Structures are given as C-alpha cells and as structure tokens.
Amino acid sequence: MFTNFSNSNFSHPIACIMKKLFPFFILICFAFHSPLDTTPGAKKKANKPAAKKHTITVYTTAENTELRISQTATLEFTQFGQPKETEPCIFVDPSKKFQTLVGIGGALTDAAAETFALLPKAKQDELIKAYYDRKEGIGFSLARTHIHSCDFSSESYTYIQEGDSALKSFNIDHDRKYKIPLIKQAIAATGNKLLLFATPWSPPAFMKTNNSMLHGGKLKDEYKHSWAHYYVKFIKTYEKEGIPIWGLSVQNEPMAVQTWESCNYTGEDERDFIKNFLGPALHNNGLADKKLMAWDHNRDLLYQRASTVLDDPQAAKYIWGIGFHWYEDWTGGGKIFDNVQRVHEAYPKTHLMFTEGCAESFNPASIHQWKFGETYGRSMINDFNDGTVGWTDWNILLDEKGGPNHVGNFCFAPVHADTKTGELTYLSSFYYIGQFSKFIRPGAKRIISSSSRGQLLTTAFENPDGKLVVVVMNQSDQKLPYRLWIKGKAAETESLPHSIATLIVD
C-alpha cells in the first residue's frame, strides 16, 4: 500500500521533500514499467524475432527417367531429435568447415577444339552454354589445356623449330586455328572468371634421351634450363593473346611410358627440376603467382611422389599443390581414394587437385550406359571428402569416334558430337558432374555430410552466399527414403535408384 504523501497534516521535513518529489517519482515508475494486461490468464509476451524458415530445393538426375538436373522437390525442416537405426539419415554439420573449392571443370584440348570447329554455329553456342552458363548450363569454372601436342591432338607438334634450345622460333600459330578460339569462348562465357592451368606431355624430341616425343624417355640434363623457360614462354605468349594462365603442372603422367607424348621423371627428378630450374624460372620472370602442381598422375603412387617433392623445403616452396588422375584401377583393383586422404593428412597446407579422368576404350554402343555418370559421382564425392580443392575432367567434347587422337587412344567424353550431322549426345557423366559444378561454387567451404546408409554417398559445401549444398548419390537398385538432418531438425525425402541429387538449403 502506497503512503499518501499529499496529506497536508504530514509536516516532517523529510516528508516535505518527498511531497515535492512525489510527482517525479510517479513519472519514473510509469516510464520503467510496461503496461499490465489485466485480462484473466494473460501472460507477458516476449518480443523474440521469428526464426528463419529454411527451405530445401532438390535437383535430381536418375536412370530410367527423364530427370536430368531437374527440380524434383521443395522440402521443409521439422523438429526431429535422435534418429533410430531404422530411420536413414544424411547428417550435415555446417559448423565443421574444411577446404575451399577452387573450381570444377574440364579440359580444352586440340581434340575438343577441332571437333567444336566442325559443329554448326547453333550447336557451338549450345555446347558453350551447356558447359559454362550458370543458369542454363552446369557452370564450369576450371579448365586444363596442354602445352603443345598430346595424344588428343591430330598430330605431334611443338612451338619451336627442332633443335632451337634458345627458343627463338617460339610461336603458337598452331593453337590459333582451333584451340585458342575455343578457350576464348569458354572464358567469355564465364564472365572472364575461368581458371586455366596448363600441362606438357613431352618436351621436344631433341631435348629427350630417346630423341622422340613419344614412348617415354627422359629430359636431358643439358636442356633442363631451356625446357623450364619453355613454360615461361608459353604462359607469357598465351597471356599476350588474352588468355590468363592460372596454374601449371610439371609433367603429365611422369611415370608412364606411353605410345603417345610422354616423358618420365622419378620423384627425385621432378623434385630437382622444380627446385633448380622450373621454380626459379617462374619466380625470376614475374610468374611466382602461378599455381605449380607436381605429380599429375594416378592415386597409386600419390603419397610417395608427394612426400618426395614436399619433404625438400627448397622444392616445396615453389609447389602450390599435387595433381592426380584416376586410372590406377588399370591393375584390376579399385580406385584408391584413401591415398588422397593420406596426402591431405600429412601435408594439410598443400592443395590437392584432380587434374584428369575419363572413361577409356570408346565404344559407340556403350555411350548411353549409366555407369559412366556413377564413376564420376563416386570419384568426386570421395575426392572432395578427402580434401581435394578442384576437380577437372578430361576432354569436354570428342567426336563420334572418341577422338581425334593421333595414336588411336579413343575415349569417352561427357559430350560427343556427330560431325556429319552436327548432333550432340550428352552422356550421364555430363549430368553427374553438373550436379556438383552447377551448385557448388568457387569459394565454397566443404562441411560435414555423413550418411547412415552404405548405399548413399554424400558430400556437402557451404557456398559463399551462405547456402548449403548437399549431394546425395544412390548406387543401389532401390528407392531409399531418408532424412536430411541438421542440428535436431530433419526433412523427409527419397533417393531414386541409381540417382544423384543436390539439395540446396536456403
């Protein structure tokens, strides 16, 4: 009960002071108290902002359907605590972040460029849009090309006259006919954001111990300085053509003796060439920012080669990353994904880059087989989960014979052209790659994605815009229901037989 300080008979000095201050006391009380809701049973309401309602958009590619990176569902999260063992889940944890994605793409080779040149203009435009447009295509952001000829060229050639160790005759006129125009179109289609790296298959014949660009052989000691400066010439000449070179590797498949362009380096050979010749040549010519990769061969010897070059600080200081391919299953065994993780564990600051993979032994009767896409999906998921920062397919386009290839090493590509009719055929591999490249953008951070079912493979990234991208691949013949589970909330969906889906959490 409040004391009535306005009573005129209450004349104590303190009371007089309080009487004068009473109006101010009342104002202060009202200023610092919220109005009371006197309605029976009423409770005070907290002014909490409404929690953001996340939606999930699903895009799917599936065998025996018309689904090709098609939007198939929109999902919402509901509260869902501890899942049972009988409730399949993909568990995603965005708080655990790992490597940053450089990009995903494919190789711009002579074979791709020569085939491209034979297409009608409308089909050329279709192909460029299909690969490089983010909205209407699959948004490639990374590319590889070769330094003079490789097997996927119509002939062997170099950029100098035979015997010119001073490189005075260096010119790239050969590339101006087909390859450079294709590369420029690809760059333009990405808004000049395409990252391009280059790789040699062999030095010129006179620089090698077998005097041939083919069948292996080694780089002669007396030409190591000249060969190192050949890379410098290539980079600077291409950049004068308006084609920035983001990076390079030392040698394609340095442990393979091939019937096509090849050159052999032991781990010690490559280490010393980097340390004493190529690294200094790049740095002394203003090219220290180019991303230099060693190895560029299969996963089988990956750790041995990485440790050989990276355990030498004088070589390692020039090396940005280690490139690798997927052909180690030539022995009849499977793909050795664990070796990628071994390198990442031992050398976490070194970037791992998948630099080449394709389905070999072209057969037109097999072109629609679903296994090609699944091979790509399986590799991409495992490689990304093992720490890979970029993933590069081999030829983006080949003809109806799986070429051109000057030694008959015909292979599959994600897109084949019939050069007689101009028609393009998109393989399952194109769509499987696209389920990653279209949605996971450069700068994305890999996050945890864990599957509770062996039939479902998964990886996930957080894009620079904050959206989560979760890829789920079903290798089985069964339709599998599952939940996407994040921090106690889950959304129900299903995975079609032999499918790959990308779930975008907005």
126 catalytic? Reply is no
The size of the chain, in residues, is: 506
Q: List the Cα angle 259/265/268 in 5-degree steps.
A: 165
Q: Which residues partner with 360 through β-bridges? A: 411
Determine the longest span between alpha carbons in the chain, in angstroms: 123
Helices 338-346 and 302-310 meet at what angle, rounded to 10?
20
Q: Where are the alpha helices (DSSP H) in 87-147?
A: 110-117, 121-132
Sign of CA dihedral 295, 300, 304, 307: positive
SS3 253: coil
The half-sphere exposure of 298 on its side-chain side, counting CA atoms within 13 A, is 14
- Token readout for 224 is 């190591």
How big is the CA angle at 75 (ends 72 and 76), to the nearest 5 degrees? 175
Alpha-carbon gap, residue 388 to 355, rounded angstroms: 11
SS3 state of residue 282: helix
Question: Is 255 in contact with 264 (CB distance < 8 Å)?
Answer: yes
Write phi, then psi, for 310 (nearest 5 degrees): -85, -20
Clarify whether 374 is annotated catalytic. no
CB 107 within 8 A of CB 143: yes
3-state secondary structure of 357: coil
Q: What is the DSSP string of 369-434?
A: -THHHHHHHHHHHHHHHTTEEEEEEEES-EETTS---TT---B--SEEE-TTT--EEE-HHHHHHH
Cα–Cα distance for residue pair 37/506, rounded to 1 Å: 39
Q: Which of 63, 114, 270, 356 is catalytic?
A: 356
Encoded tokens for 92: 């995603």
Catalytic residue among 63, 253, 261, 374: 253
Residues whose CB falls within 8 Å of the CB of residue 243, separated by 6 or more in sequence, listed in order? 180, 183, 184, 187, 196
CB 304 within 8 A of CB 310: no
CA–CA distances in Å: residue 254 to residues 37, 238, 250, 289: 81, 24, 9, 24
User: Reduced to 3 states, what is the DSSP secondary structure of residue 498?
Assistant: coil
Q: Take residue 473 and report the two structure tokens written for it.
A: 């691949």
Amino acid at site 444: A
Question: Of 51, 113, 134, 184, whose CA–CA distance to 437 is shortest?
Answer: 134
User: Which residues does the annotation mark as catalytic?
Assistant: 253, 356
